Amino acid sequence: MLSILLLSQRGEGYEIAGRLCQDGHSVRYWRANGFRGAAKEVHRYEEHVEASDLVVAVDAGTGRICDELRSRGKLVLGGGVQESLSQEGMFPQSVAKMMNLNLEAAPREGISVIPCGWFLGDRWGHTFLAQNYRRLLDGERGPQTDSMGYMAWRAEGMLEQLTPFLASVEYRGFLGVRIELVDDVPYFVRFETGLSGGLIPAIVECAKTKLIDLLLSTARGMDSSLRGQDLFGVSVRILGNQELKSTEVMKKHIWSHDEGESLGYVTAAGDNPREARRRCYRTIGNATTLDSIYRSDIGAQSIYDWQRRM
């Protein structure tokens, strides 16, 4: 069992806090306005740094703290680049240009895709491509919820343009680039620097490894072994008022949220999108109640072949 300290300014990352607790680790979560969930809330993170095996910046805003702790020899995920990439202005624009993305606003809503991965300080460990299904109802209808589910798969080399920059700032952690794909033209939206929502659950399924192994290997600057090839991961967001039902076997595929009407994400992996979806929705059928709300088409129309044209 490890002792893990999560740092947050915006109060995100409920899913990974719950997952780490469920896996038996001691998790302390610091944020400005308190926290409800499985992790233990702390008011002064400084008192828990020395006893922590790993410190993780859950979202932007604690980058300078991470830089300082890493200089003291602590294992830390995150860094100052998180905050810089999240700010509007020239800095995000210059990085987006490295990837040849259109910086003007997309002419209309397209397909939301996210090249993402774990940067080890001098190179990428594992990179993925994820498709984000943002609207409440099937067929991308209804109001925006930011995410009702993800389909993710292994995709090597998609972020290599950013390697020199990230290495120069000695960044270690998760990084993604949210893109709006309109008629095969990629428009830059924003950077993803935090560990929140259903993207991380989908990636963990795709990687076929434990969350803690991805976190630790990245913090240590080491590659973690990925078992299997060309795996696909799916995560589907469940809304409702009753807890998700789960057996011991199902628990590893359920990431609880512990706040509001979002019950969490149900996940699965497969050798192809169809198999991943079948397994995921089988678990959903066993875990949800009649009043639960979720999309039934996550991954049904994925853009798996788009990476070959990028």
> How far apart, in whole angstroms, are the C-alpha atoms of residue 43 and residue 60?
18
- Which of 177-186, 242-251, 255-264, 278-287 comes out lowest in average pLDDT? 255-264
Closest CA to 118 of 75, 83, 156: 156
Confidence of residue 310 (pLDDT cuts 50, 70, 90): very low
Question: 89 pLDDT exceeds 90?
Answer: no
Q: What is the pTM of this model?
A: 0.90
**Other C-beta atoms lying within 10 Å of the C-beta of residue 156:** 13
- CATH code at position 169: 3.30.470.20
Does some domain include residue 161?
A: yes
Q: Would you give the DSSP letter of residue 87?
A: S
> How far apart, in whole angstroms, are the C-alpha atoms of residue 92 and residue 103?
10
Does some domain include residue 34?
A: no
Range of the domain at 191: 90-308
Burial status of residue 132 (CB atoms within 10 A of its CB: 0-12, 13-18, 19 or more)? buried
Does some domain include residue 178?
A: yes
Question: 29 pLDDT exceeds 80?
Answer: yes
DSSP 3-state of 234: strand
Does some domain include residue 193?
A: yes
Alpha carbon separation from 68 to 49, 64, 282 (Å, rounded): 12, 6, 46
Does some domain include residue 81?
A: no
Does some domain include residue 5?
A: no
Length reported for the chain: 310
> How far apart, in whole angstroms, are the C-alpha atoms of residue 305 and residue 310?
9
As for how many domains the chain has, the answer is: 1
Query: What pLDDT is attached to residue 230?
Result: 75
Whether 58 and 8 have beta carbons less than 8 Å apart is answered as: yes
Strand partners, 153: 129, 232
Q: Report, as an integer, the average pLDDT of 25-47.
A: 75
Confidence of residue 63 (pLDDT cuts 50, 70, 90): confident
Tens digits of per-residue pLDDT, 104-130?
Answer: 899 999 999 999 999 999 999 889 999
